[in-house]
Amino acid sequence: MLSGNSIGKTLVATCFGESHGPCVGAVVDGCPAGLPITFDDIQTELNKRNPGLTAVSTPRREEDQVEILSGVFNGHTTGAPICLIIGNRDVEPEAYEQMRHKPRPGHADYIAYMKYGGFNDYRGGGRFSGRVTAAYVAAGAIAKKLLTQISVEVLAHTVQIGKIKITKNVSYDQIRENVYDNAVRCAVLESADLMEKEILKAAEEGDSLGGVVEVIALNVPAGLGEPVFDSLDSDIAKMMFNIPAVKGVEFGAGFQVASLKGSENNDAYVIRKGKVTSPTNNAGGVLGGLSTGMPIVLRVAFKPTSSIAKRQKTVDLTKMKETEIEVAGRHDLCIVPRAVPVVESCLALVLTDHALRAGKIPKVIKA
């Protein structure tokens, strides 16, 4: 297969659509029959990604109303492919005319033009737009619902924006309660305030910021993952790198392991309440490509939004001359806040695929 628009082996999500076309959407195939699912289950997840009226996100106003076209009947999944679409209503393709032959530095414009011979939909980045992640979130809502069958919970939060990092330990309850109550999706409210100010400061200079999202999955059964090439961490990392603007993924202690000694990095085994566990989780919940039963913990690094107001050097492809560009269109000043529910959905999709492969979720869900 030449295309790369599907992911998963048992729960297969195929995503389609472009930023300024009629819609984006997903077909989720392999979902067990009998899963209770409502419009609200999916819409609630999409609303978390919706920019709304915050000062730090794109001024593009999309309602992001999902339509369920197939695979759900009488409030339950039928076992047939589930097709979900989300209309693009607030399109503004004219803003992208100047970029048709003047690629934005840091975006995919130039390389997409070269790969597809100029036939690609260049409006708003087309297929390379962050808009496609609305489809990931819609598909992820089905995955999240399936994970509730085995009590797995996925939580994500912003831990860094620009140079502002959270320094305190954050409880799961703080994440549950605070993340969607502030514009930057941070669980520590004092830091949220500083992060928002940092983004607005960069925006005043015509610039943008990046940051880091941490995601945690709780109650994941031990043994998910199919070594060697479908190991759990490699599938998760692949999924995360499918999110536009992701430049790094680290599990548990991550890159810090390079400077630790074995004795410092190893998670010792102890017995608590008759069960084998570890007091530390430097492994981030994965060893040998298999879930250990400890929380799965990873951090995903996002680059600063490439579409910035500041004047930048580029080329005019029609004249083959150097020129400059001030990027028009409506853009997120920082991608991180809107990426939080996307990261959550992506982890849910991979865990569900592996839980189905391991037979942890039944093929028919009975009440």
Q: Exactly one of 133, 158, 292, 345 binds ligand FMN (CB under 6 A); which one?
A: 133
- Do residues 302 and 213 lie in contact, with contact meaning Cβ atoms separated by under 8 Å? yes
Copy the structure tokens of residue 104. Answer: 């934005």
342 binding ligand FMN? (CB under 6 A): yes
Q: Exactly one of 214, 235, 250, 332 binds ligand FMN (CB under 6 A); which one?
A: 332
345 binding ligand FMN? (CB under 6 A): no
Q: Exactly one of 35, 72, 108, 138 binds ligand FMN (CB under 6 A); which one?
A: 108
Tell me the residue type at 46: L
Q: How far is the CB of 148 from ligand FMN (least distance, A)?
A: 25
Nearer to ligand FMN, 140 or 244 (CB): 244
By CB under 6 A, the count of residues binding ligand FMN is: 21
Give the SS3 label for residue 344. Answer: helix
Per CB under 6 A, which region of 68-76, 122-130, 180-188, 262-270 contacts ligand FMN? 122-130
Q: Which residues pair with 77 in a beta bridge?
A: 72
Q: How far is the CB of 327 from ligand FMN (least distance, A)?
A: 7
125 binding ligand FMN? (CB under 6 A): yes
Q: Exactly one of 107, 123, 144, 299 binds ligand FMN (CB under 6 A); which one?
A: 107
Closest among 365, 358, 360 to 33, alpha carbons compared? 365
Q: How far is the CB of 348 from ligand FMN (least distance, A)?
A: 16
* DSSP-H helix ranges across the chain: 39-49, 109-115, 133-148, 172-178, 189-204, 232-241, 262-265, 336-357
Q: How many of the other CB atoms lie within 10 Å of CB of 313?
A: 9
Copy the structure tokens of residue 362. Answer: 């039944």
Copy the structure tokens of residue 340. Answer: 């939080």
Closest among 166, 169, 149 to 158, alpha carbons compared? 166
96 binding ligand FMN? (CB under 6 A): no
Per CB under 6 A, which region of 33-41, 199-207, 265-273, 331-339 contacts ligand FMN? 331-339
Find the binding residues for ligand FMN in span 47-86 (CB under 6 A).
Answer: 58
Q: Exactly one of 27, 170, 212, 335 binds ligand FMN (CB under 6 A); which one?
A: 335
DSSP state for residue 95 in the 8-state scheme: G
Rounded to 5 degrees, what are φ and ψ at 285? 85, 10
Closest among 144, 102, 100, 106 to 124, alpha carbons compared? 100
Per CB under 6 A, which region of 170-178, 227-235, 241-249, 318-326 contacts ligand FMN? 241-249
109 binding ligand FMN? (CB under 6 A): no
209 binding ligand FMN? (CB under 6 A): no
Q: Indicate the residue whose CB is closest to ligand FMN.
A: 130
Find the binding residues for ligand FMN in span 311-330 (CB under 6 A).
Answer: none
Tell me the residue type at 132: V
Nearer to ligand FMN, 210 or 293 (CB): 210
DSSP annotation string for 254-322? GGGGGGS-HHHHS---EEETTEEE-S--TTTTEETTEE-SSPEEEEEEEPPPS--SS-EEEEETTTTEE
Nearer to ligand FMN, 212 or 253 (CB): 212
338 binding ligand FMN? (CB under 6 A): yes
Residues making contact with ligand FMN (CB under 6 A): 58, 107-108, 125, 128-130, 133, 243-245, 303, 305-307, 331-332, 335, 338-339, 342
